[in-house]
Amino acid sequence: MNRTAVPKANSTAAAGEGAPVRFQVNQLHPHFFGEVVGLDLRQPLDTETTAALTAAIDRHGVLVFRDQQIDDEQQLRFSNMFGEPQRSITVHRQDIERRLRKEELSDISNIDEHGFKLGMDHPRRLYQLTTKLWHTDNSFRNPAGKYTFLCAKKLPAEGGNTEFADMRAAWDALPEERREQLRNLQVEHSLAYSRSLVPGSPPLDENERRSLPPSVHPLVRVHPGSRREGLYLASHAERIVGMPHAEGRKLLEALTAHATQPQFVHAHVWKPGDLVMWDNRCTMHRAMPFDEEKYVRELRRTTVAEDRPALAAQA
Ligand SMILES: [Fe+2]
């Protein structure tokens, strides 16, 4: 485990002790994934701490903050420090009754407003089926998702991990000749496509089609914080622009298989109070199964938007 201490100023310094308070980052995987120790996210962050956390996530791609007793307002305030929160896509769907009042909060749970488990065929359960595929959040939107924040409230006794893949390490492992063939390719990402991959997942309705059209992104992106290149893939990635469909599918599937090999993947085992923050521009993730008939699983998600728009849509 690698350890790096990151200086920050917070309330201790403000209280007059003089010395800067530090949080520590323990790297939990050989390539990425940091555990942040020493921050209480109930407290507002100052700009220096926010900058230090941005540097930490630039380096690690994913950060976990343990034992955070934050409420929804505090999660939104923390998310807001890093970008503009995006509205949950469920606001575009008329047949979904939202349990959470704030539109920027996504309800990642299998319970109703009274805490009872939803039936397996409940629309809110069916819309979550695609989260079991490798993806990056909101790549089908324009702008796409930058950071996601997922906070655990109630967890199953077993199962329900979230797996993360390091897309920069996967890129680094490709031969340069191969990398040269991939640079400059563009990919169309579509929610309609990822929904079509999962049996039982509802197709887009009229309002979703209008509000959430496909979005085009480079296949290979230079991460703005680290300046490292990485693959930008997701289950939403439908086709490579200008390439015959079957050839594009073959390439996207081969790259996804490469990027999700065990050496690039870290399984996060959730504990109550965990807040996991990840950078959608350089990682993928997927939800792992648990016994949904037996257990309640409740998490809250917020996602902030990228600072730049997607590429112009192309034929
Ligand atoms: Fe996701």
Instruction: Report if residue 296 sits inside a domain.
Output: yes
Contact 196, 169 (CB under 8 A): no
pLDDT tens across 95-146, in order?
666 677 788 898 889 998 888 898 888 888 888 889 999 999 999 999 999 9
Q: How far apart are CA 252 and CA 234, in angstroms?
A: 9
Measure the CA–CA gap between 153 and 40, rounded to whole angstroms: 16
Inside any domain, residue 271: yes
| Residue 274, in any domain of the structure | yes
CATH code for the domain in which residue 74 is found = 3.60.130.10
Centre of ligand 1 from the C-alpha of residue 250, in Å: 23
Residue 314 forms part of a structural domain: no
Distance 173 CA to ligand 1 centre (A): 25
Total structural domains within the chain: 1
Query: How far away, in angstroms, is 32 Cα from ligand 1 center?
Result: 18
Domain membership of residue 273 as a residue range? 2-305
Dist. CA 299 → ligand 1 center (Å)? 12
For the chain, helix (H) and strand (E) counts, in that order, are 9, 16
Strands 106-109 and 62-65: unpaired
CA of 189 to the centre of ligand 1 (A): 14
pLDDT digits (tens, 9 = 90+) for 191-221: 999 999 998 888 888 888 888 899 999 999 9
Q: Does residue 315 lie in a domain region? A: no
Taking the centre of ligand 1 as the mean of its atom positions, its distance from the CA of residue 175, in whole angstroms, is 29
pLDDT tens for each residue of 40-88: 999 998 989 999 999 999 999 999 999 999 999 999 999 999 999 998 7
Is residue 294 over pLDDT 70? yes
Q: Ligand 1 mean position to 185 CA, how many Å?
A: 24
Instruction: State in Å: Cα 18 to ligand 1 middle.
Output: 41
- Domain-located, residue 311: no
Identify whether 97 is part of a domain. Answer: yes
The verdict on residue 65 lying in a domain is yes
CA distance from start to end of the chain: 47
Q: How many A from CA of 249 to the centre of ligand 1?
A: 21
pLDDT > 60? residue 150: yes
